[in-house]
Amino acid sequence: MSLSSSRGPENNCPSRPILPLTTDKNALDTAIDGMVADGFTNIATGLAWGWRMLTPEEPYTARPFDQETKKFIILLSDGVQETGSASSGPRHNETYYTAYGYAAKGHLGDVDGSESVTVLNNKLKILCEKAKGLVGDDPDAPGAVYDDTRAVKIFTITFQLNNSTTQNLFRDCATLPNMYYNSPDNATLQTTFQDIANELMKLSLTK
């Protein structure tokens, strides 16, 4: 039996595995050059895997959280979160398959995918706070507690993205307000990355 790559759970899955943490610049350049933008934008999933890469638990082997180790995430997006609905793409289950399954199955709160963006945005909000050290599942709960010993510092960037909801999400996700950047063009994005590199250098020198 022949299966179509445009249908089923394998649809939109990246063909390349995630590159583990490395100081090999050539390996990093090769991995970046091999990336191809396709499918829909799922910022929450991207942040989840970025966070996993920095934790010492499986499936990766990052250094433990301790006083000698500083951990950072740079979260960038050029689009709003999407899932794909019945009006676009494969007809199987009426929606594209995502890290949360088919929207048609109700996993994202809306069976046709058209309103599931709100659910994804809420997941992104929780992930941001958990990566920043939230203990528990609700950053809006009275007396929400943060554990600084497991906190990751987060820089966020919106690139060529004129969407106030996503911009506000990224602003709130950043560890500090000045760690959020809005880059409307390539030149600004290059300056943004240089600013972040300078900040990381300062933190390294003062450790």
pLDDT of residue 116: 78
172 contacts 88 by C-beta, under 8 angstroms? no
What lies within 8 Å, CB to CB, of 20 at 6+ separation is: 53, 60, 61
Stretch 128-133: mean pLDDT: 95
Q: What pTM, to 2 d.p., does this model score?
A: 0.84
Asked if the structure places residue 14 within a domain, the reply is no
Q: How confident is the model at residue 138 (pLDDT cuts 50, 70, 90)?
A: confident
Q: How confident is the model at residue 52 (pLDDT cuts 50, 70, 90)?
A: very high
Is the alpha carbon torsion for 125, 54, 56, 99 positive or negative?
A: positive
Dist CA 158 CA 60 (whole Å): 27
Asked if the structure places residue 178 within a domain, the reply is yes
Asked if the structure places residue 2 within a domain, the reply is no
Asked if the structure places residue 19 within a domain, the reply is no
Asked if the structure places residue 6 within a domain, the reply is no
Asked if the structure places residue 141 within a domain, the reply is yes
Q: Assign residue 133 the CATH number of its domain.
A: 3.40.50
114 contacts 140 by C-beta, under 8 angstroms? no
Q: What is the tally of structural domains in the chain?
A: 1
Q: Which structural domain range is residue 85 located in?
A: 25-205
Stretch 55-63: mean pLDDT: 85
Asked if the structure places residue 172 within a domain, the reply is yes
Q: For 150-180, how does the pLDDT look when each residue is reduced to its tens digit (9 = 90+)?
A: 899 999 999 999 999 999 999 999 999 999 9
SS (H, E, C) the chain: CCCCCCCCCCCCCCCCCCCCCCCCHHHHHHHHHCCCCCCCCCHHHHHHHHHHHHCCCCCCCCCCCCCCCCCEEEEEECCCCCCCCCCCCCCHHHCCEECCEEHHHCCCCCCCCCCCHHHHHHHHHHHHHHHCCEECCCCCCCCCEECHHHCCEEEEEEECCCCHHHHHHHHHHCCCHHHEEEECCHHHHHHHHHHHHHHHHHHHHCC
Q: For 63-122, how does the pLDDT look when each residue is reduced to its tens digit (9 = 90+)?
A: 889 888 889 999 999 999 887 654 544 445 566 677 777 766 777 766 655 667 888 899
| Residue 129 pLDDT > 60 | yes
Asked if the structure places residue 195 within a domain, the reply is yes
